[in-house]
Amino acid sequence: GNSVTQMEGPVTLSEEAFLTINCTYTATGYPSLFWYVQYPGEGLQLLLKATKADDKGSNKGFEATYRKETTSFHLEKGSVQVSDSAVYFCALSDRWEGFQKLVFGTGTRLLVSP
């Protein structure tokens, strides 16, 4: 079956540090890949997405590249801010299920200190 594996957190960084959150996936079809962010006490917000191999999703300084050869979709940001502190979820949606169901990773908590 389909699955998503994320690095365990928390990830603790100082402001302006470089961020990488690793995400790898297993899928039987041709998935779309997503990063969602959840701020404390809130629902999930779509951060970025990529729908095919070699696509790069980007938003608010975050980037992730769909790497089919390594089945990865790592999230990166060059300089994090305190306001980036949140939980980040990697997810996939598989074409063979009509692009409907999202499969989430366990989430990675990011803590950024001033």
Partner 1 sequence: GAVVSQHPSRVICKSGTSVKIECRSLDFQATTMFWYRQFPKQSLMLMATSNEGSKATYEQGVEKDKFLINHASLTLSTLTVTSAHPEDSSFYICSARDARGGSDTQYFGPGTRLTVL
Residues near partner 1, by CB under 8 A: 32, 34, 36, 41-46, 49, 89, 93, 99-102, 104-107, 109
Query: Rounded to the nearest whole angstrom, what is the least distance from the CB of residue 16 to partner 1 in the complex?
Result: 27
Tell whether omega for the bond before 40 is within 30 degrees of 0, i.e. cis. Answer: no
Query: Rounded to the nearest whole angstrom, what is the least distance from the CB of residue 50 to partner 1 in the complex?
Result: 12
Q: Kindly tell me which of 17 and 44 has the beta carbon lying closer to partner 1.
A: 44
Q: Kindly tell me which of 43 and 114 has the beta carbon lying closer to partner 1.
A: 43
Q: Kindly tell me which of 11 and 102 has the beta carbon lying closer to partner 1.
A: 102
Query: Rounded to the nearest whole angstrom, what is the least distance from the CB of residue 17 to partner 1 in the complex?
Result: 23
Please, what sign has the CA dihedral across residues 24, 37, 13, 64?
positive
| Residue 95, SS3 per DSSP | helix
CB 63 within 8 A of CB 47: no
Q: Kindly tell me which of 14 and 26 has the beta carbon lying closer to partner 1.
A: 26
Q: Which of 30, 28, 23 is nearest to 5 (CA)?
A: 23
CA 104 to chain centre: 9
